Chains A and B, each alone.
Chain A
Amino acid sequence: MDPITELEGLLLLAVLQLGADAYGVTIRDEVDRRGQRKLTLGTIYKTLDRLESRGLLAARQGEPTPERGGKAKRFYSVTSTGRRAIRASFRTIRRMAAGLDLGLDTP
Chain B
Amino acid sequence: MRMLERLLSDDCGSGSALLGDLRESYHVELSRRGPIGAVLWFWTETLVALWHYGKPRHVLGSLFREDRMESFALDLRQGVRMLWRAPGFTSLVIVTLALAIGATAAIYSVVAPVLIRPLPYPSPDRIVLLNERDANNAPENLGFRTIADIRSETRTLASIAVYGGWSATIGDHGEPEQLLGQKVSWNYFDVLGIRMGLGRGFTPEDDRPGNNNVVVLSYGLWQRRFGGDSAVIGRTIRLDDKPFRIAAVLPRTFENVIFPDAQIWRVLGYAVTQPAACRTCRHLNAVGRLRDGVSPAQAAAELNGISTRLARAFPDAYPTPGMFVDRLQHRVTESMRPALLAILSAAVLVLLIAAANVVNLQLARAIRRDSEFVIRIALGAGRSRLAQQLFAESLIVAGLAGVVGLILARVAVPYLVTRLPADLPRLSAIRVDGGAVAVIGAIVLSLAVIVGIAPVVVRRTRDVFTGALRGAGRLGDASTLRARRLIVISEVALALVLLSGAGLVARSIVRLLGVDTGFDPQHVLTLRLQSSGASYQADSSVFGYHDRVLAAVSRIPGVIQAGVANQLPLTGDLDTYGVSTPDGSLAKPALNPYADRYSVDGEFMRAMSIRVIAGRPFDRDDTGDSSRSVIVSLSLAERLWPGENAIGKHVTMGNATVRTVIGVAKDVRHHGLDTQTGLQFYLPERSWDSADNWAALVVRTDGNPAALADAVRTAVVAVDPSQPVARPESMQGIIRASTAQRQLALTLFAAFAALALVLAAAGIYGVLAGSVAERTREIGLRTALGATPRDVLLLVVRAGVAMALVGIAVGLGATALLTRYIHALLFGIPDTDALTLGAAAGLLLLTAVLACVLPALRAIRIDPMSAMRAE
Contacts and interface: CB of A to CB of B under 8 A. Distances in A.
B312 interface: no
Contacts of A69: 19-20, 23
5 contacts: A40-B44, A41-B49, A42-B45, A45-B15, A73-B17
A70 B16 CA distance: 10
A42 B27 CA distance: 17
B49 A71 contact: no
Contacts of B20: 24, 64-65, 68-73
A42 B50 contact: yes
B40 to A, nearest CB: 13
A25 B21 contact: yes
A67 interface: yes
Contacts of B22: 41
A49 B13 CA distance: 10
A86 B22 CA distance: 28
B16 A24 contact: no
A75 B714 CA distance: 82
A74 B49 contact: no
Interface string B707-748: 000000000000000000000000000000000000000000
Given A25-B25, A67-B23, A73-B20, A42 B14 contact: no
A23 B25 CA distance: 12
A59 interface: yes
Nearest to B51: A42
Contact of A74 (B13, B25, B44, B53): B13
B13 A41 contact: no
A45 B14 CA distance: 7
Given A73-B21, A74-B14, 7 more contacts: A40-B44, A40-B49, A42-B51, A45-B15, A61-B17, A68-B24, A73-B17
Contact of A71 (B16, B25, B27): B16
Contacts of A40: 44-45, 48-49
Contact of B17 (A43, A70, A74): A74
Interface of A: 23-25, 28, 40-43, 45-46, 48-49, 52, 59, 61, 64-65, 67-74
Given A25-B21, A41-B45, A46 B13 contact: no
Contact of A68 (B14, B21, B44, B48): B21
Given A45-B14, A59-B13, A24 B21 contact: yes
Contacts of A25: 21, 24-25
A42 B53 contact: yes
A71 B50 contact: no
B51 to A, nearest CB: 7
A24 B27 contact: no
Contacts of A46: 52-53
A49 B50 CA distance: 14
Contact of B18 (A41, A64, A70): A41
A73 B18 CA distance: 8
B19 A23 contact: no
Contacts of A28: 21, 25
A64 B21 CA distance: 11
Nearest to B52: A46
A13 B488 CA distance: 65
Nearest to A49: B14
Interface string B9-40: 00001111111111111010000000000000
B18 A24 contact: yes
Nearest to B41: A40
Contact of A43 (B24, B25, B48): B48
Nearest to B24: A68
Given A42-B51, A45-B49, A46-B53, A71 B23 contact: yes
Best-buried of B14, B17, B27 by chain A (most CB within 10 Å): B17
Contact of A67 (B19, B24, B46): B24
Interface in B41-75: 44-46, 48-53
B45 A68 contact: no
Given A46-B52, A71-B19, A71-B20, A41 B25 contact: yes
Contacts of A65: 20
A49 B14 CA distance: 8
Contact of A45 (B18, B25, B46): B18
Given A41-B49, A68-B20, A69-B23, A48 B44 contact: no
A42 B52 contact: yes
A72 B18 contact: no
Interface in B488-536: none
A72 B17 contact: yes
Nearest to A39: B48
A77 to B, nearest CB: 14
Nearest to A70: B20
Contacts of A23: 17, 21
Contacts of B25: 25, 28, 41
A46 B14 CA distance: 9
Interface string B374-418: 000000000000000000000000000000000000000000000
A60 B50 CA distance: 23
B24 to A, nearest CB: 5
Contact of A72 (B16, B27, B48, B51): B16
Contacts of B16: 71-72, 74
B19 A45 contact: no
B24 A45 contact: no
A40 B24 CA distance: 14
A65 B53 CA distance: 23
Contacts of B46: 42
Which 10 A-B residue pairings sit nearest by Cβ, starting from the closest?
A71-B20, A42-B49, A74-B17, A24-B21, A68-B20, A46-B52, A42-B48, A40-B48, A69-B23, A42-B52
B14 A43 contact: no
B313 to A, nearest CB: 40
Best-buried of B19, B20, B48 by chain A (most CB within 10 Å): B20
Contacts of A42: 18, 45-46, 48-53
A48 B14 contact: yes
Best-buried of A25, A42, A59, A73 by chain B (most CB within 10 Å): A42
Interface in B111-140: none
A9 B104 CA distance: 49
B812 to A, nearest CB: 45
Contacts of B53: 42, 45-46, 49
B44 A45 contact: no
Contacts of A70: 20
Best-buried of A43, A52, A69, A72 by chain B (most CB within 10 Å): A69
Nearest to A25: B21
Nearest to B19: A71
Nearest to B54: A42
A59 to B, nearest CB: 7
A42 B44 CA distance: 10
A53 B195 CA distance: 46
Nearest to B49: A42
Nearest to A45: B18
Contacts of A68: 20-21, 23-24
Contacts of B49: 40-42, 45
A52 B25 CA distance: 23
A72 B17 CA distance: 6
B21 A41 contact: yes
A25 B21 CA distance: 6
A48 B49 CA distance: 13
Contact of B52 (A43, A61, A64, A72): A43
A45 B23 CA distance: 15
Nearest to A75: B17
A42 B51 CA distance: 8
A39 to B, nearest CB: 9
Nearest to B25: A25
Contacts of B45: 40-42
A52 B11 CA distance: 15
Contacts of A73: 17, 20-21
A36 to B, nearest CB: 13
Best-buried of B14, B22, B25, B53 by chain A (most CB within 10 Å): B14
Interface string B402-442: 00000000000000000000000000000000000000000
